[in-house]
Structure 1
Amino acid sequence: GEIEFWFAGIKIFVIIAFILLGIAILFGIMPSNNSSSYYLHNYSDFVPNGWKAVFSTLLVVIFSYGGSELIGLTITETKDAEKVLPGVVKGVMWRVVLFYTLPIFIICGLIPWDKIDANASPFVQVFETAGLQGASHVMNFILLTAVLSAANSGIYGCTRMLHSLSQSGDAPKSLSYVNKQGVPVYSLAFSVLFLLLGTYLVYLYPEKAFSYLLAIPGFTVSLIWISICLAQLKLRPQYKEKPYFKLWGFPYLTLFAACTLIISFIVFLIDSANRLSSIVCVAFVLVMVILSFFKRNTKPTSLEVTNDTN
């Protein structure tokens, strides 16, 4: 948590500086190398490459937002969760608008969408329009901290999820072991092992591994978010006590989110560029589903549990 605080602090500082610099350039307060700042309303078509392109790019968007659902995992380690978490969730929504949507708005205002260099960061391009030629080195450092931040939160989420599965009997019992500090060390070691494996794959296949490894978490996060939406639609009306967290627009907003995610998920599966990743992900899910039936059949009945207890 302390490491994530500093990683996030670095990213937030740079994004705020970027927003202030971009606004200054857009409104002519700061001179730049950009000859025009009217790109926001010079587009001939709102969706120039069609809606299929929009849903295809949602995979990268979902990957980028992946991890926001970790807020739910922290409920078991949060004091006064009923009071704290609603404020945290609402704060996340405002931060998404501030730290994601606003920078994209500025980028689209300063650089035509078809002039953005695919081999360079658009943040760097904006900094360079302001004459900051050394911005690429600074942004490389920021991107490195962002990657480490993603790995840090990923390790936390994976470790806690393995620990939870182990406690419920859906993963090896040893993964539920925690040390004196309350850290599930075996789950942590298991998570780090796969992190090192992914790093090794990138080392062996630097040109292809990243796109494959990017697709897999995008697939996973999509599946998780769809499951969360469907679980909300089914379970929330059945609660005996009204939840302390008010869900705005329920069930219509939840249904809209589920439909959008499902469409994006289908587009991802049928996209030829994701064929290998789709086969791997679907095969893994099928194996898990098949194993779940065997697990369900091996669980003791209530009579067996009673006899064992006696």
Structure 2
Amino acid sequence: MWLTVSAIEVIAAGSFLQYWFKDIPLWVLCLICSLVLILINSSSVKAFGEIEFWFAGIKIMVIIVFILAGIIILFGIAPTENSHSYMHNYANFIPNGWNAVFSTLLVVMFSYGGSELIGLTITETKNAEQVLPGIVKGVMWRIILFYTLPILIICGLIPWDKIDANASPFVQVFETVGMKGASHLINFILLTAVLSAANSGIYGSTRMLFSLSKSGDIPRHLSYLNKKGVPIYSLLFSVVFLLLGTFIVYLYPDKAFNYLLAIPGFAVSMTWISICLAQLKLRRTYKQEPHFKLWGFPYVTIFTLLALTTSFIFFLISPANRLSSFV
């Protein structure tokens, strides 16, 4: 899943670069981004951590600025080139009906993939019963703040039928309200954001392969470390997927992103469905009641299971997703 995510984020990075380099083919830009990421991951873990710190810091900062600027523009507090209230855009809330919503949900889930990893940290967390409840609640608030709120702002500022599929909605928001200079800055920051995600995906995949190799589940040579402490053969295995993603872009420049996006979407969906089923089966067998319990169990779990399964089925039967479903 994470190897595919890395390839997807590299394609996104290439598309952001095309904002400035329109004459360069997308696959060439993807290849350049791949080479940069390979260089970063072939250096020491300290260098990786330092670069990732700045990537992530820039990403968080710009989302906060975007939210504040978007709210000011949305309510007409600050004058813009198209100075008026944009709230009328909410009139057509679901213009293409609920079928369209369900058919895209699996792709939306891809964006939230990784949140389930909190559960895996419990064995390595000191005072887990005290620490993890705060972390879980914090993730919920961050999803509302960093995902839901920016989407509401985008929907308020740009009519649904005017969003450009080939450009970032964040950049489009600033261009729509006449702030042309800001769009270049936002595009750069979004570029660092997707490179950050790809960087983390390669790092995680490489270390997972290293761990599996050490335990004897896959060939032993994948756990070989170079002088910098990097599992170089595991990294090379990850590199193959990045180059494969670039090759798919070369073949299908307009469709590669959506083709690949379905794979981690499926993986995330099936993982979450499995978590819900496991909780329904296992919770009654606990010898001790958990300190931090899900509110409304089992009804909330059953509702979540039904919602995930419904979106999964709608995605499968949608004609637009036929090829992705087959893959």
Deviation at 1:40, TM superposition (A): 5.2
CA distance in 2: counterparts of 1:83 and 1:149, whole angstroms? 30
Deviation at 1:177, TM superposition (A): 7.2
Q: Is the 8 A contact 1:73 1:157 kept in 2?
A: no
Deviation at 1:133, TM superposition (A): 0.5
**TM-score calculated relative to the size of structure 1:** 0.77
Instruction: Give the unaligned 5+ runs of structure 2.
Output: 1-48
Q: How does 1:83-102 map to 2 (within 5 A)?
A: 83-102=130-149
What is the DSSP-based 3-state SS (H/G/I as helix, E as strand, rest coil) of the residue aligned with 2:292?
coil
Alignment correspondent of 2:69? 21
What is the DSSP-based 3-state SS (H/G/I as helix, E as strand, rest coil) of the residue aligned with 1:134?
helix
- 2:288 corresponds, among 241, 245, 248, to 241
Alignment correspondent of 2:249? 202
Q: Is the 8 A contact 1:18 1:103 kept in 2?
A: yes
Alignment correspondent of 2:302? 255
Letter paired with 1:114: D
Deviation at 1:139, TM superposition (A): 2.6
Q: 1:42 to 1:254 in 2, by over 3 A?
A: same
Alignment correspondent of 1:295? none
Computing the radius of gyration over CA atoms, which structure comes out larger, 1 or 2? 1
CA distance in 2: counterparts of 1:181 and 1:82, whole angstroms? 37
**Deviations for 1:20-79, whole angstroms, at most 9, x for unmatched residues?**
111111232200214332325533xx4321211001121221111112223234445544
Q: Is the 8 A contact 1:67 1:154 kept in 2?
A: no
CA distance in 1: counterparts of 2:292 and 2:215, whole angstroms? 25
**Deviations for 1:182-225, whole angstroms, at most 9, x for unmatched residues?**
97665554334323332333244322322211111111111111
CA distance in 1: counterparts of 2:147 and 2:50, whole angstroms? 23
Instruction: Give the unaligned 5+ runs of structure 1.
Output: 281-310
Aligned residues: 278
CA distance in 2: counterparts of 1:148 and 1:164, whole angstroms? 24
Q: How does 1:14-53 map to 2 (within 5 A)?
A: 14-32=62-80, 33-39=82-88, 41-43=90-92, 46-53=93-100
- 2:111 corresponds, among 64, 67, 87, to 64
Q: 1:144 to 1:267 in 2, by over 3 A?
A: same
Q: CA RMSD in A?
A: 2.9
- 1:114 corresponds, among 150, 154, 161, to 161
Q: 1:12 to 1:151 in 2, by over 3 A?
A: same
Q: Which moved more, 1:231-240 or 1:120-129?
A: 120-129
Q: Which moved more, 1:105-114 or 1:264-273?
A: 105-114
Letter paired with 2:253: P
Q: Which moved more, 1:74-83 or 1:117-126?
A: 74-83
Q: Is the 8 A contact 1:158 1:191 kept in 2?
A: yes
Q: Which has the higher contact order (CA 8 A, sep 6+)?
A: 2
Letter paired with 2:142: R
Q: 1:252 to 1:178 in 2, by over 3 A?
A: farther
